[in-house]
Structure 1
Amino acid sequence: MITKATLEDVSALNKLINSAYRGESSKKGWTTEANLLEGLRTTEKELTETIQNQKNTILKFTENNRIIGCVLLIEKENQLYLGMLTVSPELQNSGVGKQLLQQAEIHASALGLPKIVMTVISVREELIAWYKRKGYIATGAREPFPASDVHIPISNQPLEFIVLEKRIL
């Protein structure tokens, strides 16, 4: 079941997101960034602030009273920004991510926004290919990767984002 996340979900979302992107647990799934980055993907403070912002929506995928997936959607001018698409590492390739993407498109349509945009680390070729199979296209735009005390690059490759988008209206 996909519903809107609330402040009561922050702790579970934080555990899920960090387990899917960083550390040993993330290596069970194919979307890990553990070979590229150390540190946390997000924090409870960041998630609380995100949920409290009226322009943001976090959709959660719940099964047996457990959050197993989520996606962050941010209203930005004439588009919806999609970020932090997360599926529990042991449940990846089960269709949860695809269902969250479809719900994001419904959300964008309901807001009257004509496209969804996202940024993906350029070296994540397998992930970029997955999004392309879902109808997203590379715009050619690139953005610098923000180094911080949270996202700590450990890769020898220079990291940057590519921008993908999908027109939905």
Structure 2
Amino acid sequence: MIIRKATLKDISQLVTLVNSAYRGNDSKKGWTTEADLLDGIRTDANSLEQMVNKKEAVILQSFNENNVLQGCVYLEKIKDKMYLGMLTVSPLEQAKGLGKQLLIEAEKYAADQKCSIMEMTVISVRTELIAWYQKHGYRNTGKTKPFPNDAKFGMPRQPLEFIVMQKEI
């Protein structure tokens, strides 16, 4: 696995990867799909450009030995915490350990940035995903956040909220 920070030239590939893993028929080939929960896209080029340009943030990309993009993760430093979002693995590469490797790389990056806590939000009804993060040391903090009422995040098919999960690193 080759890890590289995303730049503006990577955005088109990232849009395709993220949307294929979370929404639409292609996402149903993997286990991380949100297609039954939300309509619309997961992200767009403008949103990713803002992420790439954010001063305290980075998107780490994962490539195979043939330089094919297989995964990514968004990280944003907020004081002593590192927010983790958009952990993405291509649907055809899921369940092969790549998500775990990306999570480890994200935690190493956070430690290098002097962060002591990784924090994320997960849609509360994604029980299989919550269990996966718990298996990797994350815990439910008991805090919740509302799901955004904004089409750029997708349109919920049912009421949704996020739970906040953390891990000390």
Please say whether Structure 1 and Structure 2 have the same fold, judged by a TM-score greater than 0.5: yes
Q: Corresponding residue for 2:134?
A: 132
What amino acid maps onto 2:92 in structure 1? E
Residue deviations 1:20-65 (CA, integer Å, cap 9, x gap):
0000000000000000001111101111111011111000001112
Query: Which of 69, 74, 79 in structure 1 is aligned with 2:81?
Result: 79
Query: Which of 70, 92, 95 in structure 1 is aligned with 2:94?
Result: 92
Q: Corresponding residue for 2:155?
A: 152
SS at match of 1:48: helix
Residue 123 (structure 2) pairs with residue 121 (structure 1): yes
Gaps of 5+ in 2: none
1:129 offset after TM fit, Å? 0.1
SS at match of 1:42: coil
- 5 Å matches for 1:1-169? 1-63=2-64, 64-150=66-152, 151-155=154-158, 158-168=159-169
1:161 offset after TM fit, Å? 0.3
1:147 offset after TM fit, Å? 1.7
What amino acid maps onto 1:87 in structure 2? V
The TM-score, its normalising length taken from structure 2, stands at 0.96
Gaps of 5+ in 1: none
Residue deviations 1:62-117 (CA, integer Å, cap 9, x gap):
11121110000001122000000000001101111101100111111101110100
1:154 offset after TM fit, Å? 1.3
What amino acid maps onto 1:15 in structure 2? T
Percent sequence identity over aligned pairs: 52
